[in-house]
Amino acid sequence: MARILKTTVYVFLLLFLLLGIGGVWLIGPGNVSRIFLSTGITYDTEAPKLPEMANPAILIFSKTNGFRADDQIVAANTALEALAKENGWSSFTTENAAVFNTEQLGKFKAIVWNSTSGDVLTPDQRTAFKSWLGAGGGYVGLHGAGGDPSYKWKWYVDDLIGAQFTGHTLGPHIQKARLVIEDMAHPATRGMKSEWVRTDEWYSFAASPRAKGYHVLVTIDEASYLPVEGFIPFRKPKDISMGKDHPLIWWHCVGKGRALYSALGHTPESYAEPQHLQLLQGAMGWAAGLERPTCTDESDAKQKDTS
């Protein structure tokens, strides 16, 4: 009996070990160290040297102090740089957060936060960014930029993103789903059909930002996919459904600044999709102030009449 019990214990220990190894392999050693051990987290203090840039200039920022999907970040950075070039915009790509200083931010019309994660800015860098944005800058947050389960910087999640991430599809992870285009006039979604069927990892949030007055561009039909976060060892599958109002892309004003968040784009293949590239191009152009709707002043967070 004792021998059987001992063997059973060894079997369970072996299973735990294999699951642990599998988890590390699945998430990635770097992600495990940053997320669970808080190692490998860095803050930048020496600003990068910027090249000569014509106006408008777009800053592409992809620093990660949390989860990192490197293949997605590389694919997105490449696509964003190409879009900027095609449209005659300058761009500068960096993971050096020290670029968030008053002088250097002043050279850019918009900043794309490409799947940034974790706490990436120092207090002074946060202040510089908030001032730049409120004075008329533009922010585009892509996928993981709004995908942390918790945030040290509450203004970022509560006001800039406007919704707290609660989970994403897992088991199956990547799924085909039906998106509903609510606004076909905004530059990011202009010319799109009312429905868009595509494959991705799908985010859920604690509440819709619509209640805050944010302008929803795209929602997802939960009947078209399985909104469950499963396949996590020793945990029951988690229902991450939001119901009928499940936004994925929205915009709002921050003072005189423009902010747009899109939860799309986990897979590298997303950045070769023509319609997704069209969305990114429109979002960047709008954030840079090249197209309406505009944001007028601190008290006006509504879409300006463009008629």
Q: Is pLDDT above 50 for 226?
A: yes
Q: What is the CATH number of domain 57-287?
A: 3.40.50.880
Distance CA 210, CA 207 (A): 9
Give residue-wise pLDDT tens across range 49-78.
999 999 999 999 999 999 999 999 999 999
Task: Say which residue, 230 or 175, is predicted with more confidence.
Answer: 175
The answer to whether the CB of 69 falls within 8 A of the CB of 117 is no
Q: Is pLDDT above 70 for 8?
A: no
The answer to whether the CB of 229 falls within 8 A of the CB of 167 is yes
Dihedral through CA 272, CA 276, CA 282, CA 283, nearest 10? -110
pTM score above 0.85: yes
The answer to whether the CB of 114 falls within 8 A of the CB of 77 is yes
The answer to whether the CB of 33 falls within 8 A of the CB of 229 is no
Provide the β-strand partners of residue 176. Answer: 199
pLDDT at 38: 57
Q: Specify the amino acid at residue 211.
A: A
**pLDDT confidence bin for 171, thresholds 50/70/90:** confident
Q: Beta strand pairing status for 57-61 and 90-94?
A: parallel
DSSP state of 206: S
Q: Is pLDDT above 70 for 3?
A: no
DSSP SS3 for 204: strand
